[in-house]
Every structure is written in C-alpha cells, then in structure tokens.
Chain A
Amino acid sequence: MSGSASSVFFGLSTIAYILAMILYIGYLAFRKSQVGVVATTVTIVGFISQTLAILLRWKEFYEIGQMGWLRAVPLTNLYESLVFFVWCLILAYLVIEFRYKNRSFGAFITPVAGLVLAFIDISGMSKDIQPLVPALQSNWLLVHVMMSFISYSMFAVSFSTGLMYLIVRTDKRNQPAYIFWTVMLSIFIVVLCAMGLDYLSFKVSVKNQEELIKSYLFKATFRSDSSAVSLLSFAVFAAITFIIWRFGGALKKVITGLNISAETLDEITYKSIAMGFPIFTLGGLIFGAIWADQAWGKYWTWDPKETWSLITWFFYAFYLHSRLMRGWKGKKVAMVAVLGFVAVIFTYLGVNLLLSGLHSYGSQ
C-alpha cells in the first residue's frame, strides 16, 4: 500500500501543512505580507493534493471492494476519518481566510492539521484499506459519516475561536473564565504531549483501538508502572497548568496583535455552530437513526455512541439557547462552545477508546 499514488499525495499534503504552519507563525511574527501569501499558497497546494489523495483512495477502495462508488467512500476507519476531518478543517479555514481577509487565524488551524496528520504517522495506526463488515455496507455510510465530520470540523473552528475569545476577553487571574481557559488549554497540551510520549517510548504499531487504550494510552506518563513516573507526570501537569495560568496574559497579547476583534471571534464561533448544528442533527443524529433502523430495526438504543451524540447535541442546543438569555452573551456562551467540542471529541474518540475499554476491563 505504501507505494500507491494516494499515499504519495497524503505525504505531500502533510509536508505542506507543516510548512504552512511554520509560514503562518512566521507571518504572525514578522508581519510580512509576502510570507502570508506564500503560507496561503502552500496551504492551498496541500489542500489540493489531499483532495487528490482522498479521491485516489476512493478509487482504490472501489476497485478492491467492488460494491459501487457510494459504498467505497474512504471514511470507514479511524485513519480515514481523521484525514477527512483535517480536509474539512482546512477547507473551513480557507473559507474564513477569504471571507474575513485575515491570515492570522492560520497560525492556529494549520498546527492542528499538522498535528493530526503527524499523530497518524507516529501512532502507526492501520492505513490499510479494510473491507467493510456487512452492517457498514449501506449508502447511508457516505452521507452519515461525511456530514458528521463536516459538522465536527465546524465545531472545531468554534472551539478555537471560542477559546481565543475567552483569552482576549479575560484579564484577571481570579476570573472564572480565565481559570477555565487556562485549565482547558493545559489539559489539551498535556494530553497531546502525553500521547506523543507514549508513541515515542513504545513505538507500537497498534492493531486495534481497544488494544491501544488497554496497553499503551498514557502508559509512559500517568499510568506508568513506576509510581514515581506517574507522580512526576501529575506534577508536570500541575506545573504546566500553573505556568499557563501565570503567564496567560502573554498569550492574550499575541492574539490581540492579530487584528481580530472579540466581536469577530464571537461571530465566527456562532456562525460555525449555526452551520454545524443543523448538519450534525441531520447527518449525525437523524441519518444515523434511520440507518440503525434499517440495519438493526432499532432507531435508538441508548448505546454509548448514540448517547454521546445526543449529549453533544444538547451542549450545542444549550449554546444556541443560552445566547438568548440575559447575562449569558460573551464569555459564558464561549465556555459552552469550548465544552461542546470536548463532547465532540469524546463522542468521536472517547467512546471508542475509553468506554469500550472500560467495559472490556469489567468482563475479564
């Protein structure tokens, strides 16, 4: 598989996004418009080659599966869905860049794209095209999964703008909103670093997700066999949180330097949720329910994945309604938007990794 055309283009797009990340950060630092233009060009090149890669993989899958184009959509495992997520995210970013004529935001989105693609490479997750189990052989697969991921990437945008809004709008260290964003940010950084350390120290090629959570997740840090390492990890976590909390003001300076007003950030947060919410409701919940009904004869069974989608839905319903309440506009709703994306991540990854893992522990 490694020699196939699609993986060449995937590699190219990964490199392009990482390069774009460096360029966007350079643009932020030096404010040279030429650098900005190059950064945008590199991002577009990455995006085009990723589009080609996805289409080529679609074709490969079609040729292997022999089940028609609709059922050959490359969205059937963790690897493919992460790639599609990055694709949507970059598309959403490019739209925002052209709509708002502001490049600064790129310095926050391209690192996410680069990190996810790098995560795929380091984790050694299976990139093979896997045949579909009978339950997945349905035309609903395409619409359900694709629409879910489009909404996830909208929510990802609202998460980052929501977080930036909080950073810009808070200044006192004892403000609840300030403490909220510093803690959220440090959790994200620490979890990413911890996972990075896992892969660096074990270099495992994980066959399935359950094995990943059981044997490797946080094994190099928090869940280490040596209690000293695990204690140290928690201490480092606390230290990172403290540092971000203590020097959060510096981050605020960087973001205020971006020429994005707090109002624009709030507007982008709202707009991406206003786009994402109906797409998620229709594609994620309704189409998911119809598909389940046709495959299993039950449109709703309260299984953890369904329930977590509903929880996510309630978070964003909360967001949309709380904007109508007096005294909630601004920081409080931004916090809801940030928490909503935590629910999204949990629906997507946590349910597969943690809950099934938890239950399989119980059944030994």
Chain B
Amino acid sequence: MEKERKKSIIDIVWDLFASVKLAVVIFSLIALTSMVGTVLEQNAEPEKNIQVLIKMFGVGHETAHSIYGVLDSLGFMDMYHSWWFVGFLLLFCANLIICSFDRLPRILKLVREPIRPLSKEHVEKMSIKRSLVIKGKPSGIKERVSGSIAKIGFKPSESSEEDELQFYAEKGNFTRLGVYITHLSILIILAGAIIGLKFGFNAVLNLPEGMTTSVAFKGEGIEVPLGFELRCDNFEVDYYGDSDMPKAYKSWLTVLKDGREIMKKVISVNDPLTYGGITFYQSSFGPLQSNMNNGIVVLRAVSSDGKGEQVNTRIGGTFTIPGSTGVGRVTNFSPALSFDQSGRPFTYDSGLKNPAVYIELPNVGGKPYSQWVLKRYPQTWRLPDGSSVEFLDYWGVEYTGLQVRKDPGVLIVYLGCMIMAIGLYITFFMSHKRLWVNVTEEKGAAKILIGASANRNKAAFERDIEKLTGLLGEDRKGGK
C-alpha cells in the first residue's frame, strides 16, 4: 500500500501505457471510429453524406445539414487523416513500444537463461508427466535415455546427484520473442507508411496516344515533375467475346531522357512500369472527344491473291488495295457501332467500344462497293471479290489513365509485412518446450520420470513426450 502511493506520475503513465487494458481500449477506439468512416463516404461531396444522414436518422434536410456541419468540423469527412485519428494511431504506437519495453527484460531473461536441472518434486509438478520402470542400472541406460531424447529432436544435458541422474533439454526458447517481433513489425509498417507520406507522392496522369509528358498531376492540377519524360506509343483494349466487358487493357510506354529512349514496356493492370523510383500503374482509359474525328485509321489492304500493305489514313482519306485499280475512301466513322432492328447503323457509346469505318470502293468485281468495317469483327473485313480491308487500329483518339506513385517507404512496409508473417508464425505455431528426465534406481531397476512443459500447443508436445516414453520402454515388450 505504502509503495503504491509513492509512485511518481511518470511511473503511473508508464504503467498505464504498459497495460494490456490500454491496448484493448485503443483497439476498440480505432475499430469503432473506423466504422463511422466506412458509413460516411470519405472526401466526398457534402450532399452525398447529407443524403446518407437523412437515410440513417430519418431526419429532414435541415437537420441533416446541421449534423453534417458538426461531423465535418470534427473531421469525420476525412477522418482517417484527422488529428484525433492520427492521435489514436500514435497512442497505439506508444502503447506498443512501452508495453514491449516493460516486458522485454523479463522475457529476454527467459530466453537467454539456459534450462537448469530441477528437483524431483518440481519435475513431478510439470503439466506433462510420464513415468515408467525399465530393467538395468541407471548408469547402464544413460546412452539409451540421451539417445531417445535426441530422437525426438532435443539435445539433452546431463547432471547427476548421488543416486539420481537427470537429463534436461529445451527447444524454441526464442519463440517467446514472437509476440515482440509481431509488435515490432507493426511499428515498421507504420514507419514505412509515414516515410511514404512524407517523401513520396500519389498522382494521376491521363496520357493521350502519341503524347509525351514530363509531369503528373496531384489533386487539383498541381504539377509533379517526373525527372524524365514518358510517352504513350499505343493503347489497346481487349474485350471478352462480343461483350463490352474489358478482358485486358494495355499501354505501350516509353521512358525518354534528353530525347533518348531509355526503356520500353507494355503495361497492364497488375503489371506496372517502374523507372527512377516512380511507378506507373494502368488504372483507366477513355476517349479524347475533341480529337475523335482526327485520329489515324490504320488499315491493311490485302488483295485477293494475298498481297498485303499497311496504310495509315484518316477519316475522309484514301487507300488502295494492291493490284487493284481505283482509290478506296474512308467516308464515315463510328466509335461504337451497332445496328438497330431495321438494320440501320447507330453509335451506342461515345467511348471507343466498337470502332468501325465505312469504306467506299469504286471497283469491286466491276461494280462500286461500300461497307462497314469493324475492328473487333474480322469477318467484316472481307470484300466480295476475295480481297479484304483489315481495320487494325484507330490511333490517337484515346488516353491511358495512369496512377503515378513514388513511395520510398513501400519497401519498409513490405519488410514489416514479412517480419509480421514470421512473428505471427512463431507466436501461434511454435512454442518454448522444456523437458526433464529423471532416472533413479528402484529395486534393481531404473525408474524413469519425465516432466515437460510448453508455453503453447501443449497437445502437440504431449504427443512427442508420448513418443519418448515409447522409445524408452520399447525394450519391455520383447525385443533386445
């Protein structure tokens, strides 16, 4: 009682932060406030969340508006970055650090201190216990006992006292550190996250086909210099069958420095390009409406006897099929062509979902001829006289949407994740196992007493001890 009172404030604060109780309080605080953040859409238009509040509380627009005002001033509309949520995370770290420092000396002692021989009374009190009697003098079965212990994977030490022999061994004493390794990994991950926020950036870049840039954009049009140039050479989307569901989209990117090409890569979702610490992720795509009619139509005109030639032309431009007379003309274009019930063509989307060009030829088998040629449908490329016009690409009318990131902390985060995996494995799937085997002489035979303990997964260790007992007693059931 007296001692309690003499605690200084520092001691009180230390004890508070070292307590598991504070840990669970912080867990609940972070968990409960995080829930609010998932209901209110973060960084959204105010009206969105006002609608959410109206739905949730069944109140009028006015009331919802004032609730919104209160929540907004408390930082709930960007709560994961609000001072109090960051405060919770800092408290969490402080708790982790202090509680680890508080316990570590005791645990280290347990880890470092080698196992010692125990008195018979102590061995008898162990949570796992077996005993058996075998023929022979204690000194004569020494080899067998240490050999059996080695067989279940332990290196036994030996001590003797008057009439008593004891073998003892331990394994996995370091596993007691598993919890602290896990705690440390959380701190490493958070440190990596802070480094990323401080020294890295997240930006976006919508780069049209054929264009080169040296900057990306953060937030409301803030330029972020890349330190090199990036060019989008081409962009393509593959669709599943006849549907408009994208199967894959790819960008052909080139990194340039002082006008020289340094690196080329085709990126797709899940396969980014990294150069100079900056990574470009394929995230979206879209049409360049203003340029929609000024793109380059890439065709391959193939004659009926198989002679082909690639032609770059424009809408309104011309092309020729090798070996034929007359000039073909591209007279119409649709980014997404479909036909209605009466067979009339119409454009169903402003995006480049099903690009098609209308071609007119003066002489196909002696007659003027015209048809729609669709990029996604090769069967529309054939002409009646056996020649064909392949629609390969409509280039320069789409942009590729890239997520641009520099994060020097990400490797530290990955390292933290690895350490966490190791820490969790040690904590939950390994244990500190100790065993003592006492051998005494009893009526001309050797009495063996096994005592063992494990701080976790006791059942598994008990099976090992069962095996050890079996090995020691083998000889009783016949044999040698």
Q: Which residues of A contact B (CB under 8 A)?
A: 131, 133-135, 137-138, 274-275, 277-278, 281-282, 286, 289-290, 293-300, 302, 304, 307-308, 310-311, 314-315, 317-318, 321-322, 324-325, 351, 355, 358-359, 361-364
B247 at the interface (CB under 8 A from A): yes
Q: In angstroms, how far is the closest chain B Cβ from the Cβ of A192?
A: 23
Contact of A296 with B249 in the complex, beta carbons under 8 Å: no
6 cross-chain CB contacts under 8 A: A131-B247, A297-B405, A299-B413, A310-B31, A321-B20, A362-B51
Instruction: Say which one of B222-230, B290-298, B330-338, B418-426 lies at the interface with A.
Output: B418-426
B37 at the interface (CB under 8 A from A): yes
B240 at the interface (CB under 8 A from A): yes
Chain A residues, Cβ within 8 Å of B394:
none
Give bound CA distance, A84 to B28, whole Å: 31
B87 at the interface (CB under 8 A from A): no
Count chain B CB atoms within 10 A of each CB in A293, A299, A304, A362 and give the residue with the most: A362
Contact of A133 with B245 in the complex, beta carbons under 8 Å: yes
Chain B residues, Cβ within 8 Å of A363:
48, 51
Chain B residues, Cβ within 8 Å of A133:
245-246
Contact of B41 with A294 in the complex, beta carbons under 8 Å: no
Give bound CA distance, A281 to B427, whole Å: 13
Among B29-66, those with CB < 8 Å from A are 30-31, 34-35, 37-39, 41-42, 47-52, 55-56
Give bound CA distance, A282 to B418, whole Å: 9
Given the known inter-chain contacts A296-B283, A362-B51, please indicate yes or no for A355 contacting B248, CB distance below 8 A: no
Contact of B31 with A311 in the complex, beta carbons under 8 Å: yes
Interface size on B, residues (CB 8 A): 54
Count chain A CB atoms within 10 A of each CB in B269, B404, B420 and give the residue with the most: B269
Contact of B428 with A321 in the complex, beta carbons under 8 Å: no
Q: In angstroms, how far is the closest chain A Cβ from the Cβ of B138?
A: 38
Contact of B38 with A355 in the complex, beta carbons under 8 Å: yes
Q: Which of chain A's residues has its CB closest to B249's CB?
A: A134
Chain B residues, Cβ within 8 Å of A358:
39, 52, 55-56
Contact of A314 with B27 in the complex, beta carbons under 8 Å: yes
B211 at the interface (CB under 8 A from A): no
Chain B residues, Cβ within 8 Å of A364:
51
Q: In angstroms, how far is the closest chain A Cβ from the Cβ of B100?
A: 13
Given the known inter-chain contacts A308-B38, A362-B51, please indicate yes or no for A278 contacting B202, CB distance below 8 A: no
Contact of A362 with B424 in the complex, beta carbons under 8 Å: no
Contact of A295 with B38 in the complex, beta carbons under 8 Å: no
B5 at the interface (CB under 8 A from A): no
Question: Which secondary structure dominates chain A's binding surface?
Answer: helix
Q: In angstroms, how far is the closest chain A Cβ from the Cβ of B29?
A: 9
Q: In angstroms, how far is the closest chain A Cβ from the Cβ of B200?
A: 10
Chain A residues, Cβ within 8 Å of B413:
289, 299
Give bound CA distance, A45 to B419, whole Å: 41
Q: Which of chain B's residues has its CB closest to A361's CB?
A: B55
Contact of A286 with B270 in the complex, beta carbons under 8 Å: no
Chain B residues, Cβ within 8 Å of A277:
424, 428
Contact of A307 with B37 in the complex, beta carbons under 8 Å: yes
B359 at the interface (CB under 8 A from A): no
Contact of A311 with B34 in the complex, beta carbons under 8 Å: yes
Count chain A CB atoms within 10 A of each CB in B48, B270, B272, B404 and give the residue with the most: B270
Given the known inter-chain contacts A296-B403, A322-B24, please indicate yes or no for A307 contacting B270, CB distance below 8 A: no
Knowing that A135-B269, A318-B24 are A-B contacts, what are 10 other residue pairs whose CB atoms are under 8 Å apart, sorted by A's residue number? A278-B424, A278-B429, A295-B281, A296-B283, A300-B193, A315-B27, A324-B20, A325-B21, A358-B52, A358-B56
Give bound CA distance, A361 to B80, whole Å: 23
Chain B residues, Cβ within 8 Å of A308:
38
Q: In angstroms, how far is the closest chain B Cβ from the Cβ of A354?
A: 9
* 9 tightest Cβ-Cβ pairs between the two chains A and B: A362-B51, A278-B424, A134-B269, A304-B38, A297-B405, A297-B281, A314-B31, A362-B48, A297-B403
Contact of B414 with A295 in the complex, beta carbons under 8 Å: no
Contact of B34 with A134 in the complex, beta carbons under 8 Å: no
Q: Which residues of B contact A (CB under 8 A)?
A: 20-21, 23-24, 27-28, 30-31, 34-35, 37-39, 41-42, 47-52, 55-56, 80, 193, 202, 240, 245-249, 268-270, 272, 279, 281-283, 403-405, 410, 413-414, 417, 420-421, 424-425, 427-429
Give bound CA distance, A358 to B403, whole Å: 28
Chain A residues, Cβ within 8 Å of B28:
314, 318
Contact of B24 with A325 in the complex, beta carbons under 8 Å: yes
Given the known inter-chain contacts A274-B428, A314-B31, please indicate yes or no for A137 contacting B270, CB distance below 8 A: yes
Chain B residues, Cβ within 8 Å of A286:
417, 420-421
Chain B residues, Cβ within 8 Å of A138:
270
Give bound CA distance, A289 to B20, whole Å: 28
Contact of B246 with A297 in the complex, beta carbons under 8 Å: no
Q: In angstroms, how far is the closest chain A Cβ from the Cβ of B11?
A: 20
Give bound CA distance, A281 to B183, whole Å: 13
Q: In angstroms, how far is the closest chain A Cβ from the Cβ of B202?
A: 7
Q: Which of chain A's residues has its CB closest to B21's CB?
A: A325
Cβ-neighbour of B24 out of A137, A281, A289, A321 (below 8 A): A321
Chain B residues, Cβ within 8 Å of A302:
37, 42, 80
Count chain A CB atoms within 10 A of each CB in B20, B24, B52, B421 and give the residue with the most: B24
Chain B residues, Cβ within 8 Å of A298:
202, 403, 405
Q: Which of chain B's residues has its CB closest to A282's CB?
A: B421
Chain A residues, Cβ within 8 Å of B24:
318, 321-322, 325
Give bound CA distance, A134 to B249, whole Å: 7
Cβ-neighbour of A290 out of B246, B247, B404, B414 (below 8 A): B414
Q: Which of chain A's residues has its CB closest to B32's CB?
A: A311
Q: Which of chain A's residues has its CB closest to B56's CB?
A: A358
Give bound CA distance, A280 to B413, whole Å: 18
Given the known inter-chain contacts A133-B245, A321-B23, please indicate yes or no for A278 contacting B268, CB distance below 8 A: no
Q: In angstroms, how far is the closest chain A Cβ from the Cβ of B414?
A: 7
Chain A residues, Cβ within 8 Å of B20:
321-322, 324-325
Q: Which of chain A's residues has its CB closest to B243's CB?
A: A131
Give bound CA distance, A292 to B270, whole Å: 9
Give bound CA distance, A138 to B270, whole Å: 7
